[in-house]
Amino acid sequence: MAPSLIADSFVSLAALGGLLILIGAIRDFDAASPLTRRFLFGLHVLSLLMVSRVLSWWTGLFIFEAATVMAAGLVPLATVILAEGLLRRHAPKVTKWIVAGGAATFIVLALVPAIFAEPWRSVMLFAYQFVSFALAAHMAVTRDRASLSKAENQAVDRVALSLLLILPLFVTDFRSPYIDMPVRLGGVAVLFLCWLLISLGQRTVSHRDTLASFVILLSVALVGAVAIGIENGLGTAALVRTATVVVCASLLGVIWKDGITLRAEQRRQSLIRHLAEDRIDDPLGFLRELQNHPLVEGALQLGEPELVDFDLPALKALFIDQPLLRTAQIQGLTETDSEQLAWLLEKYEATHVMLVSLHPFRLVALNMPSVSATPGAETELKVVQRMALLISQRSAGHD
C-alpha cells in the first residue's frame, strides 16, 4: 500500500470531517436563508469531491472517478455563486459564462474514460479552477465596502483569504510527471476554509487573531512532525506527508472544538430568545416555558405550600434583598439566612434559586453548575429573573 495513498486519503477524510462540522453549524443557525443555501451548496460540492476522490483511489471504479471530475468542475461555480450572495451583486457576465460553461463542460467530460481524457482533461480542469478562483477573488477585492455591513465585509475577507491559500495548495492536487508532490494539499486548504468560516460565529475573534492562531498551530504541528521525522529517520517525502497529516489532524480538532463552542453559545442564547419571543402576559405560562430551555431545563416552581417548612418571613426578606442566590453565596450570608439557603438548595438539589413573584410568593430552583464558569449566562439568568418578577407585578396590578 503506497504511503502517499494513505496520506492523501487521510487529508481528504479530515477535510470531509471539517466540512460536515461546518455544515452542521450553519444549519443550526439559519438553514432557510438564501445566503445559507449558497453556503451549503458549496460545502456539499466540496464534501462530494472529498468522498468521491477517496472512493476512486481505493476502488478504481469509473463511477467514482466521474463523480470526482464532476464535483471538481462544480467547485468554481459554487464559489462564484457564494461570492454573489456575500457581495449582494451579480458577477460580471463573462465570469458567469466561464463558470457555468466550465461546470457543464466537465460534467460531460467526466463521462469520458481516463484513458482517453488524460492528461488534457486535468490540464483544462486546473486552468478552469485557477481562472474561476481568480475571478471570484477579484470580485471580493474590488467590492464596494460601504455597501456592506461590518459582518458582511468580515465574511468576504475571510473567504477571500481562504482563496489565497486554496489557489497554491490546489495545484498539488494535480499530478504531473514534472512535479512529484508527496501528498495532495487541497484538503489542508479546505480545512483552513472551514476554520475561517466557523470562526465567523465568534464575533470577538479578529482576522489577526485567526491568522495568529493558524500560524501558531501550523508551527507547532510542523515542529512535532520534524521531531517525529528525526526520531524515525524519515526522508523528505515521508517528512512532508507526516507534517501534512499532523497539520490536518490539528486543524480538524480545532474545528471540532469551535463547533462545540458555537453550539454551547446557541444553547446559552436560548434564555435571551425566551425573553424576546415568549408571552409576557401570563406569569405561570412564562415560567412553564422557561423550564423547557436547555440552560434551566427541569427548573422547579416553589410556592408557599412547598416552602411551609421554612421560615417564610425570613425567606421573603432574604430574596427581596437578593432576588437571585446561588450556592457560592451561602458563606456570605448571616447564619440564619445561610442555613435557610443551604437547606433550600439541598432539599431541591439546586445550584440557583431566584425570586419570580412576590404576590403570591414564588421561587424557582434550578440546577445549573456550568454557570459558575460562564458569567455571561448568569447575567442572562438575572435578566430572566427580573423579567419574571416584572411580569408577575404587572399581572398583580391588572388584577
- Please tell me the distance from the alpha carbon of residue 393 to that of residue 310, in angstroms, as a whole number: 24
Q: What value does the mean pLDDT take over residues 29-39?
A: 74
Of residues 382 and 58, more confidence is placed in 58
Classify residue 72 as exposed, middle or buried by CB count within 10 Å of its CB (0-12, 13-18, 19+): buried
- Please tell me the distance from the alpha carbon of residue 145 to that of residue 168, in angstroms, as a whole number: 26
The 3-state DSSP class for residue 233 equals coil
Q: What is the pLDDT of residue 104?
A: 93
The one-letter amino acid at 354: M
Residue at a domain's end among 268, 301, 329: 268
Residues 135 and 239 in one domain: yes
Whole-number mean pLDDT of the chain? 79
The lowest-confidence range among 98-112, 136-150, 261-275, 385-399 is: 261-275
Residue at a domain's end among 268, 296, 324: 268
Dump pLDDT digits (tens) for 243-277.
888 888 888 988 888 887 777 666 555 555 655 55
- Please tell me the distance from the alpha carbon of residue 159 to that of residue 250, in angstroms, as a whole number: 21
Q: How far is CA 143 from the centre of its chain?
A: 26
Q: Which three cell numbers stand for residue 254?
A: 480545532
User: What is the extent of the structural domain holding 282?
Assistant: 275-398
pLDDT at 146 over 60: yes
Q: What is the pLDDT of residue 371?
A: 44
Residues 13 and 147 in one domain: yes
Dump pLDDT digits (tens) for 319-361.
888 888 888 788 778 888 888 888 888 888 888 888 888 888 8
Residues 255 and 325 in one domain: no
Residues 236 and 280 in one domain: no
Residues 294 and 263 in one domain: no
- Please tell me the distance from the alpha carbon of residue 51 to that of residue 48, in angstroms, as a whole number: 5
Residues 264 and 301 in one domain: no
Q: What is the pLDDT of residue 354?
A: 85
What CATH number did the domain enclosing 66 receive? 1.20.1070
Residues 346 and 312 in one domain: yes
Helix (H) or strand (E) holding 353: strand 352-357
Q: What is the pLDDT of residue 103?
A: 92
Residues 262 and 288 in one domain: no
Query: How many structural domains compose the chain?
Result: 2
Residues 191 and 72 in one domain: yes
Residues 260 and 295 in one domain: no
Q: Give residues with Cβ within 8 angstroms of 134, minimum separation 6.
A: 167
Q: What is the pLDDT of residue 170?
A: 67
Residues 325 and 250 in one domain: no
Q: What is the pLDDT of residue 373?
A: 45
Residues 325 and 256 in one domain: no
Dump pLDDT digits (tens) for 276-326.
555 555 566 666 666 556 556 667 888 888 888 888 888 888 888 888 888
Q: What percent of the chain has pLDDT over 90?
A: 11
Rg over CA atoms, the chain: 28
Whole-model pTM: value is 0.69
Q: What percent of the chain has pLDDT over 70?
A: 78
- pLDDT band, very low/low/confident/very high, at 119 (cuts 50, 70, 90): confident
Residue at a domain's end among 268, 283, 304: 268
